Structure 1
């Protein structure tokens, strides 16, 4: 009997539909070659929908997504039309929080043939970002709006459960890789939340004597990622710090067009979501020139999560072969290739 996996597609905004559509041919061929099927359902939830209905997704949107094993997302946001605070809190963050996708994984390394801004190409960093609380908890408010006495308060929320589970997830990843983990805080300035994070790190580390732990302040590790990225392996950080570091990591690996991510519910009790982190790029939307590499890499991570590891390896190997050849490059990489050209070449390399 053919293995079947239900996948929700949310193309979203800007270049999102283009990179998602380009990835479908690759995913369908990978499934055919490796003996499984992807039952894909498309959800047209976006800023266009918000402008038409006042909601990024319907009230029962989470319930509609719940039966799926995974979600493949293109991009969210169109700031010139809908404030990012509306689009983010109306779609992306509710999905991450509702499905307890607390572990955000973002691999950073140069694919063969890709070039980054640094002289050193010897780096392979897995950033793990806490994804459901911390600085993005949404706790706060504003009073006296529009007056000279206006006050805005935003409170970060760190729970022992939340901090401990993301650290344990990071330690497990470090154990599978090089046995090195870097924990990121700003405990010299944030003497409650970040000192708490440091203390929990110390407690959890006792259960992983085989993992070497280093502790960095956010500013120091940002400098280290630029000056000596090869000294880092698994990096674990809070929601905000992880968000910032992973954009830096994306720049090192050649740009946002190369940056995949996975929002993981580790116990698989609810869907996990996979997305490129390049944003919606409204300036090039509709032109067919968006770099699909990050989306295809995210799709490979999704196949791994679905238990189709051979297909995931095949997809990443095909992607690496295309970038190594260097013949097809989208404009962000100095070429003239179209989104579909790159995706079709990856599909042709699948085995």
Structure 2
């Protein structure tokens, strides 16, 4: 048994966040105990609408200061579109945290679970999304926004692609492929966006030269959407720029069965944040209907990341137990409504935790 203690942040967020984040904590605790891993000190921090009401800011300065002292954290979904002004017009909570800590890699797996109604059975791929640049206005400038209106009838958005940013995300993709099935697919639109996504494609190809053991191909973004629908099981690691990665990962999550099972982490070399790929689903908040799978699997990704960073095999074992526990629970027929079942959020998490104890 390891004696290491990790300090992990808990930011429940809005909507279904206060339901699915505690569910993930419950499952992680069960997996850590089963793996003989060190203890986790969970530190809950204010974020989102509750933070606005209590502290006057969706991401209080004290929250950012505390996060900087932690090993990682779980971020629940936010409903920034429902915030009162001026908070609604500010950078949203997850964007604020990503930008503050330069979490440049958004890693989004899409893996079909048995008996989870996958559109393409056998899907098992990972979207590696560059998280700091591209065509999203909140990420294409150091300060302010990359979107502006010179007149009421003209709107302009800048898309930024730089060699250093592409190099570091490409290395993440190729290193991940080495641990998986040894294949990277580069997605771009270089036939139209020749300079920006052309640079992305070309720099990824240059990085690929340092990984002769990894097979590389590339597709235009529009063609890639068709290939995912037709043959998602043929892809391993997909690396792409920010907006394309956002779109492809949502598509891949649904192909694998549901956005409710789509996990992700946002990471730099020093820090990582577990964050489900889906939104806050305010229409079902507080009804015990939300699928916590994506949040639970995101937490497993955080454990795996921490295990690699700290060379802690017990954390890696705990991460594997979480994945096995979810898969076995779904296979046994315990499923939330979005997966065709009738199990509530709390019962699903309890079932996963119990399954882990039996593994």
Deviation at 1:81, TM superposition (A): 4.3
2:316 counterpart residue number? 309
Secondary structure (helix, strand or coil) at the match of 1:246 reads: helix
Tell me: CA distance 1:230–1:144, structure 2 relative to 1, closer, same or farther (3 Å). closer
Partners of 1:313 and 1:79 in 2: CA distance: 35
1:22 aligns with 2:23: yes
Partners of 2:94 and 2:165 in 1: CA distance: 19
The answer to whether the Cα contact below 8 Å between 2:80 and 2:92 also exists between their aligned partners in 1 is no
2:161 counterpart residue number? 158
1:246 counterpart residue number? 249
The answer to whether the Cα contact below 8 Å between 1:77 and 1:84 also exists between their aligned partners in 2 is no
The answer to whether the Cα contact below 8 Å between 1:76 and 1:88 also exists between their aligned partners in 2 is no
Partners of 1:294 and 1:8 in 2: CA distance: 18
Deviation at 1:185, TM superposition (A): 0.5
The answer to whether the Cα contact below 8 Å between 1:141 and 1:152 also exists between their aligned partners in 2 is yes
1:209 counterpart residue number? 212
Deviation at 1:18, TM superposition (A): 0.3
Partners of 2:304 and 2:320 in 1: CA distance: 8
Tell me: CA distance 1:154–1:59, structure 2 relative to 1, closer, same or farther (3 Å). farther
- Equivalent residue in structure 1 for 2:343, among 337, 346, 349: 337
User: Which digits, 9 at most, give the CA deviation of each residue in 1:47-77, with x for residues without a partner?
Assistant: 3433665521113432221001011011111
Deviation at 1:90, TM superposition (A): 3.3
1:96 aligns with 2:102: no
- Equivalent residue in structure 1 for 2:70, among 68, 90, 95: 68
1:112 aligns with 2:114: yes
The answer to whether the Cα contact below 8 Å between 1:99 and 1:272 also exists between their aligned partners in 2 is no
Q: Which runs of 5+ in 2 are unaligned?
A: 308-314
Deviation at 1:143, TM superposition (A): 4.1
Tell me: CA distance 1:312–1:87, structure 2 relative to 1, closer, same or farther (3 Å). farther
User: Which digits, 9 at most, give the CA deviation of each residue in 1:295-318, with x for residues without a partner?
Assistant: 111111111122100111111111
Partners of 2:234 and 2:37 in 1: CA distance: 40
For the aligned residue pairs, the C-alpha RMSD in angstroms reads 2.1
2:59 counterpart residue number? 57
Tell me: CA distance 1:85–1:189, structure 2 relative to 1, closer, same or farther (3 Å). farther
1:318 counterpart residue number? 325
Secondary structure (helix, strand or coil) at the match of 2:167 reads: helix
The answer to whether the Cα contact below 8 Å between 1:262 and 1:272 also exists between their aligned partners in 2 is yes
Partners of 1:141 and 1:35 in 2: CA distance: 46
User: Which digits, 9 at most, give the CA deviation of each residue in 1:237-284, with x for residues without a partner?
Assistant: 10110000000011011111100001122x32xx21001112100000
1:191 aligns with 2:226: no
User: Between Structure 1 and Structure 2, how many residues are aligned?
Assistant: 342
1:349 aligns with 2:355: yes
Secondary structure (helix, strand or coil) at the match of 1:56 reads: coil
Secondary structure (helix, strand or coil) at the match of 2:107 reads: strand
Deviation at 1:87, TM superposition (A): 7.5
Q: Which has the higher strand share?
A: 1
Partners of 2:187 and 2:224 in 1: CA distance: 8
